[in-house]
Amino acid sequence: DVKVTQSSRYLVKRTGEKVFLECVQDMDHENMFWYRQDPGLGLRLIYFSYDVKMKEKGDIPEGYSVSREKKERFSLILESASTNQTSMYLCASGGNTIYFGEGSWLTVV
């Protein structure tokens, strides 16, 4: 079974804090993705990566950065968290179909 593991299920952070969301996959996939999910807006692509150290902006990259130093790991970074970044963050990996992690619920207060 494909496993995509997100490091934290629930986080509460203060405005202005730097936040790291980690994601690891065990299927040797080249492609990895970060989405955020908000009611009524569906899944919106923040960043994706097609190889180690390669990244591309998705539809809503502002306020986020990513890191892909190893093939199995894709990190999402909020340089200075803001309340409008309170959301559910989903990591995924795959090719012709994608597999999601369990999600990380981030609350910024």
Partner 1 sequence: GQQVMQIPQYQHVQEGEDFTTYCNSSTTLSNIQWYKQRPGGHPVFLIQLVKSGEVKKQKRLTFQFGEAKKNSSLHITATQTTDVGTYFCAELRTTSGTYKYIFGTGTRLKVLA
Q: Which residues of this protein are in contact with partner 1, per CB under 8 A? A: 31, 33, 35, 40-45, 48, 50, 56, 58-60, 90, 92, 94-103
Tell me how far apart the alpha carbons of residues 67 and 70 are, in angstroms, rounded to a whole number.
Answer: 9
C-beta of 42: minimal distance to partner 1 in Å? 4
* One-letter amino acid of 86: T
Q: Which residue, 15 or 107, has its beta carbon nearer to partner 1?
A: 107
Collapse the DSSP code of 86 into the 3-class scheme (helix H, G, I; strand E, B; otherwise coil) and give the result: coil
Q: Which residue, 17 or 37, has its beta carbon nearer to partner 1?
A: 37
How many C-beta atoms surround the C-beta of residue 8 within 10 A? 14
Q: Which residue, 24 or 92, has its beta carbon nearer to partner 1?
A: 92
C-beta of 47: minimal distance to partner 1 in Å? 11
C-beta of 3: minimal distance to partner 1 in Å? 12
Query: Computed from CA positions of residues 87, 30, 68, 66, in that sequence, does the dihedral angle turn out positive or negative?
Result: negative
Task: Report yes or no: 106 and 19 within 8 Å, Cβ to Cβ.
Answer: yes
